[in-house]
Every structure is written in structure tokens, then in C-alpha cells.
Amino acid sequence: MTALEDAPVPLSAAGNPIGFGRMHRKEDVRFLRGEGNYVDDVQLPGMLYGAILRSPYAHARINGIDTSAAEALPGVKAVITGAVLETLGLAWMPTLSYDTQAVLATDKVRFQGQEVAFVVAESKYIARDALELIDVDYEPLPAVADAKKALDADAPVIRDDKEGKTDNHIYDWEAGNKEETDAAFANAEVVVTEDILYPRVHPAPMETCGSVAHMDPTTGKLKLWTTTQAPHAHRTVYALVAGLPEQNIQVISPDIGGGFGNKVPIYPGYVCSIVGSIVTGKPVKWMEDRAENLMSTGFARDYHMKVSIASTREGKIQAVKVDVLADHGAFNGVAQPTKYPAGFFHIFTGSYDYPAAYCNVTAVYTNKAPGGVAYACSFRITEAVYAIERIVDCLAAELKMDSAELRLKNLLRPEQFPYTTPTGWEYDSGDYEKTMRVAMDMAGYDQLRAEQAEKRARGEYMGIGISFFTEGVGAGPRKHMDILGLGMADGCDLRVHPTGKAQVRLSVQSQGQGHETTFAQIVAHELGIPPEDIEVIHGDTDNTPFGLGTYGSRSTPVSGAAAALVARKVRDKARLIAAAALECAPDDLEWELGRWYVKGDPERGRTIQEIAMDAHGALELPEGVEGHLDAQVVYNPPNLTYPYGCYICVVDVDPGTGQVKVRRFIAVDDCGPRINPMIVEGQVHGGLADGIGMALMELIAFDDDGNNLGGSFMDYLLPTAMECPDWELGETVTPSPHHPIGAKGVGESATVGSPAAVVNAVIDAISPFGVRHADMPLTPANVWRAIQGSPVRT
């Protein structure tokens, strides 16, 4: 175990830590100068532009499409409809959940904003103008936008494209032990039940989705620059769907302006740009605008949860059960490991010690855009954490017990790890109470409660909300986890050049997380090569090893391990080469950062740079050692890593207006050793802002006809610095026992953990009005309604 050592990390000549530590992000040099290279920056000679005609209806039959006027517009090169795609066998494509999704609608449209036709033109303005000239004969059908009505006998059947489908049911799935859980509830002294909605929200990355496709008619090679978090998986899916030879497909994911899970699925626009290029023989660029992104690409959540908790009168939790109605929209397009149709939701047992738990999830189609797994959710651990952390607060209210005391009484203890949860997860390591105490100390918890009591006496409404979360991140292992049959293991290649500079090639793809920096730091930590001498190459299937990509905070747990192991492989090879150069046995050598030296004679040694030159030079290499200094690994993780944390939020609520002010936010995260603490803090800052956004303002609402009411940033509110306090961050460090450097993922922790803290704080503030629960978003209007005893609007 090379956990974060106490010894100071040596600095390179450029002042960077040769290993773990704070260092400015290498990629910021280009980002801060506006010199990033995003998909929309790609310009190719003769490039054409695509635009998508979208459905104004949530549900309508298509009786005909007249494209003649659009085709006649000067500058228009092609108008592609579902009928055209049908002749190519491409009207429908598989989703990442083994469902099918229309690329361009043929029979019906099933959500507002669905793709109906694709225009290719000389400019993006001509393409958009041409959309206006397409005449679609729609026959509106009744729509079902409310998941609770989707299984009604008279609900319109959305997926009548599927043979024999007579309802909107997608699947039922369960986890845990129903009998034991029911028995625990039957015998419990206290039972609390609450209907808890995690509303539909949208990841809304800064860069919207898009692609540039170039099918070279002479070579037959397809190059696709695209906004994807999983270039290799996408390439394989294109090969399978379009029947294109996989070696002729190059997926390039250049700089990405945020992904947040929005860029895991394959969207019809990507496929249309490919078809557009095949049809015209030219490169075709398609970039959606903000409204298209908000209305049609992968949303997040939409989980209707009935959560029950059983406990003793003293507050010892005995069982939890959750009934979920999952709204998947019109196509089941969620991206998650095949075995887990509800993602990792069954981690809802949380951070507490109790024997019985059960959940069942029923998923339905509605006339809404597809999605569900996105927005830093760790495969629906957001929903799980929100469910358990809200119901624990409801239990505390019922027991009239302090919510911190209730949590401390039930947290898993350090000696219980590795701990198997009642739903089957094996948590790798943790010291939960320590983390909670650090957070409470930082917050001054007892003083805060005293202040709250004083304020209440004066008629002021201050609230304190706690959330203690455990995540499981780093999917595989491959035998348990695959997406469309592709096992979740990741490759990593490392080449050390003759001069001792290196290139490391990853299968994961950064969308802003700073991989070009942190993966260089991992290699630096193992080999002693300064991070500025290590180039990180990612996001190009022709130049990187196969792997499943970046989501579920899996890059550090999976590819981070691969990078450490590939560097160790190079180090082992370097030892053999150093032994040859020093004319000693490999066993006589000892490693110190950046150098093998002879035991007992530290002056005699070879630096990694010298060894690199030897490996490419004239030195006679020992039997069995190939020349050059490089290595490859494929890392198949033995388990997930389980980061966790304790968040405390302090709010002031104005009961007259319902306005919530987040006054303080304390976040103590434990993600094991931090490769770059500055980047980790940045990840946490972003996720905390997400939490404030979701808890207080973000919502994709629909009317009864399925009209999307939040297609712009005028309606879909995002948090800004104005709504965010100065974050107060703390840390504890509990390494993962199975990860080569002990690191756990952190990229989604704060988004997963923070909404419950904010909501718990608001409900705590307004609890004197008899409020026990109110659904997000807690906008001023909704807080006011809750205080008045009226239902909130979601």
C-alpha cells in the first residue's frame, strides 16, 4: 500500500509534485486561454451542417412527411427522414439498456422534441431554415406524462412498435430480502413512511451534445469527433449497429465542455451526422442548441420512492424498504451495467448497521425524453442516498431525537469492514464516526443547535441538515458488470521514450476532471518521472487501449489502478535493465523514487531516465527482456471502491416568502488518498453547487400533455455563485484496501451527498410549521406552500 505518505513529495524542476499533491491542471493552459478544442471547433474542408426537426407533440402518429420544399431550398444537400433510414436498416438503434430507440421517427413521435428529420446543408442557417419547410402530417394522440398514470388500464400504449406490447411497463426488479424485511416491520416499535420524489433534472453541461462525422468515400474510414464519455464503447456500438468494420471507425472525443453523464448515451444526432456524411460524401457537423439539449438528451432521476424505516423507540434502525416507480421516458435509454436495471439504487441501505432491507423497482414508459442515469449519480446512488438520508431525518422527527445523534447511533463501525450490506454490496473500508465527528466539529454542531433554539424562540427559522452518504464507484468487475455485453475493465499503456519522457494512454475520457494532470501524477508517483514530462493521451480510439470510459466515477478506481500497475510493470522491467547496466543481480537493487540503486551502495544506481536510454540503446539486455521501456495492462477491478462523507448544511428560511438562504455548507469527504487535493476540492465544489441547484431550483416540468415546460435556462434554473456559500471542506483518509494506491472515486460524491443535506436543513427550519417532508425543488413558492400545508409543485 502506497497511501498518501506523510513525507513531503519531492518537487520537479518545474515545481510540480513528483507524485500526489496540489498542482495546477496541465489542461488549464489551453482552457484558460480559450484554446481548447471542442467538437464545435472541428473544421474540415467541404464540411456541411446538419439540423434536426423535432416533434412539437409528446405523442402523435405520423401520417406523412413532405420534404420537397426543404429539398428545393438552395444550399440544402439532403433531407433524411425515418423512411430513408428504414431502407438502410437504421431507423431504430439499440439503447445501452437493450431497448430500442428511434433514430428518426417513422410510425409515431413519443416525446416532445423527438427527432423527426435531419437536414444537411451548406451552412447551419440554411439547415435550420429548411426545417421550417418540412411538412409533417401529425395526428395527435393522448399522452401520458405522469409515471403514476402510465400503468392505468386506459393509458395510451407508447411502445406499440414492440410486438405484443399492450402496456407501458418496462421491468420489475428487486433486491434484498422481502420476508425478513416484512417481519422486521411487523415487529417494529416505530415505523415511518414517506412518499419521496427525486424529480427529473438535467445535467446541462456547458457544451451541448454534437458530432462531426467524416466517412471518407475512398478509404471507407469513418472518423467521428463526438461528445462522448465512452469513445471505445461507442465505437463498438456503431460497428454493431451500422455493420461498419470496427477497424474503420475512429471515435475521437476531443476537449469536452462537461459531461455529467449527459454524454454517455448514443444520440440520434450522432447517427444522423454519420448517415449525412455517407449520403453526401462530405463531413457533416451537428451541434444541438441549449433547448434541444434540455428537451431531448439524457435527463436524470425521475424516481418516485415510497420509503419506510423501522426502528426501536431508542432509535436503533432495524429495516428499510423502498418501493420505486421509475420514469424512464419513451425509450429505456439508461446507461448502467446490464445486471442492474435500476443502477446501484440498492445501495439505499446507506451508511448504517441494520439487518434487513428490501426494494422493488417498477419502471415505466412515459411520453417524455429518455434517460435516467446522468448528472453525477453514480448509477442512481443519488436517489438511494436521498431516500435513506431523508427517511432517517423523518425518523428523527418522529422520535423527537437529534438527527446527528440518531445517525451516530446507527453508523457502521470501523471493525465491521469489509461489510456486506443486506442488499449485497461489500463496502471496502470506512471509519464513519470519525468523519462525522470531524464534520460536526467543523460546523460547531452544538452551538448551531443552541443558536437555532434561540432563533426559534424569536420566530426566526434556521435549519441544520445532515447527510451521511456512502457511494460505490469504479464499475466492474467485468464478470458482474457490462454494458451491452462489454465488460467493465480498462486498459492502460505506458511508453517511456529514450530520453525518459513518457506517454500514458487511457481508455477513459476526461470531461473536465483533470485527467491529463492526475494520471500523470499517478505515473510520477510510481516512477519518479516529473508529471510535466508525462503526456496523457485519451479520447481517441485509434490511439488508446480499449475500455469502457468515464462515468460512475470509475476513472480513478479502474483506470487509476491501471495507470499505477502499468507504471509498476515498467518499474519492474527497469529493474532488470538497471541490473544489466550495473552488472548486479536484480535482487540486489532497491527502489527509491525515480531510481534503482545497489543495496548498501546507494551511490551506484541508475535513474529511470538513464534506464530508459539503456532500454533503447546498445546495452546488452538480459535473457527474456525485450528492448524499449513500455508496458500494457488491462485492469479488472475486484470490487467497487466505497467513498463516503458527511455534509452539514445551515440555512435560514423566510417563512413569509419561502426564500431559502444557504448560510454555511460543511463537507467532509473520504475518498482515500487524494492524488491532487486541489482537483478533488474542485470536484467537491462543483458537486455541492449541483446539490443546491437540485434541492432549491432545478426541475424539468411537464404539463399533462407532455409539453416540456423547462426548455431554456429562463425556466431551468442553475445555481450560480450567488446561491452558494463559501464551502467549508474537510477530509479523512481511509484507503481502499484493494486499489493499488488506495484511491476511491470522488467525481460524483458531492452531487450524490449534498441534496439531502440541503433539503434536510430546509425541512428542519420549517418543522415548527408541522412540515415533515416536501419534495424538491424547494423553490420559494414550494417552501411557502409547504408551510401553508399545501402540496408542492414538481
Tell me which residues touch ligand MCN (CB under 6 A): 205, 258-261, 376, 511-515, 518, 550-556, 671-676, 679-680, 683, 686, 743-748
Is omega for the bond preceding 268 within 30 degrees of 0, making it cis? no
Nearest one of 300, 281, 438, 427 to 375, comparing CA atoms: 300
Q: Hey, which bits of 373-515 come out as E strands?
A: 419-420, 426-427, 461-470, 482-483, 486-487, 490-496, 502-506
Contacted by 264, from ligand CUM, ligand MCN, none: CB < 5 to 8 Å by type: ligand CUM
**CB of 471 vs ligand CUM, minimal distance in Å:** 11
Task: Write the binding mask 250 to 269 for ligand CUM: x where contact by CB under 6 A, - elsewhere.
Answer: ---------xxx--x-----
Contacted by 177, from ligand MCN, ligand CUM, none: CB < 5 to 8 Å by type: none
Residue 492 forms beta bridges with which residues?
A: 506, 633
**CB of 680 vs ligand MCN, minimal distance in Å:** 5
DSSP letter for each residue of 147-188: GGGTTSTTSPPTTTTSTT--S-EEEEEEEE-HHHHHHHHHT-
Rule CB under 6 A: choose which of 96, 131, 376, 392 binds ligand CUM: 376
Residue partners of 34: CB distance under 8 A and separation at least 6: none
Contacted by 700, from ligand MCN, ligand CUM, none: CB < 5 to 8 Å by type: none
Residue 210 forms beta bridges with which residues?
A: 287
Q: What is the Cα–Cα distance from 202 to 532, expressed in whole angstroms?
A: 36
By beta-carbon proximity to ligand MCN, the closer residue of 277 and 555 is 555
Rule CB under 6 A: choose which of 322, 377, 598, 699 binds ligand CUM: 377
Contacted by 373, from ligand CUM, ligand MCN, none: CB < 5 to 8 Å by type: ligand CUM
Q: Hey, which bits of 643-734 come out as E strands?
A: 644-654, 659-670, 728-731
By beta-carbon proximity to ligand CUM, the closer residue of 464 and 475 is 475
10-17 long-range contacts (CB < 8 A, ≥24 apart) are: 10/593, 12/530, 12/531, 12/532, 12/533, 13/530, 14/530, 14/532, 16/524, 16/530, 16/531, 16/532, 17/521, 17/524, 17/531
Is omega for the bond preceding 740 within 30 degrees of 0, making it cis? no
**CB of 552 vs ligand MCN, minimal distance in Å:** 5
229 interacts with ligand CUM by CB under 6 A: yes
104 interacts with ligand CUM by CB under 6 A: no
Q: What is the Cα–Cα distance from 700 to 368, expressed in whole angstroms?
A: 10
Reading the block at residue 675, the C-alpha cell is 492524488
373 interacts with ligand CUM by CB under 6 A: yes
Nearest one of 287, 792, 176, 504 to 783, comparing CA atoms: 792
H or E element, residue 242: helix 231-242
Q: What is the dihedral of CA 548, 554, 559, 562, to 10 degrees?
A: -110
By beta-carbon proximity to ligand CUM, the closer residue of 60 and 251 is 251
Task: Write the binding mask 34 to 63 for ligand CUM: x where contact by CB under 6 A, - elsewhere.
Answer: ------------------------------
By beta-carbon proximity to ligand CUM, the closer residue of 254 and 372 is 372
Contacted by 671, from ligand MCN, ligand CUM, none: CB < 5 to 8 Å by type: ligand MCN
Interaction residues for ligand CUM, span 711-730 (CB under 6 A): none
Contacted by 686, from ligand CUM, ligand MCN, none: CB < 5 to 8 Å by type: ligand MCN
777 interacts with ligand CUM by CB under 6 A: no
Which phi and psi (to 5°) does residue 445 adopt?
-55, -45
Rule CB under 6 A: choose which of 57, 198, 551, 642 binds ligand CUM: 551
Contacted by 605, from ligand CUM, ligand MCN, none: CB < 5 to 8 Å by type: none
Contacted by 555, from ligand MCN, ligand CUM, none: CB < 5 to 8 Å by type: ligand MCN
375 interacts with ligand CUM by CB under 6 A: yes
By beta-carbon proximity to ligand CUM, the closer residue of 376 and 488 is 376
H or E element, residue 535: strand 534-537
**CB of 510 vs ligand CUM, minimal distance in Å:** 12
Nearest one of 778, 755, 595, 764 to 687, comparing CA atoms: 755
Nearest one of 179, 470, 186 to 353, comparing CA atoms: 470
**Residues found near ligand CUM in the complex (CB under 6 A):** 229, 259-261, 264, 373-378, 551-552, 748
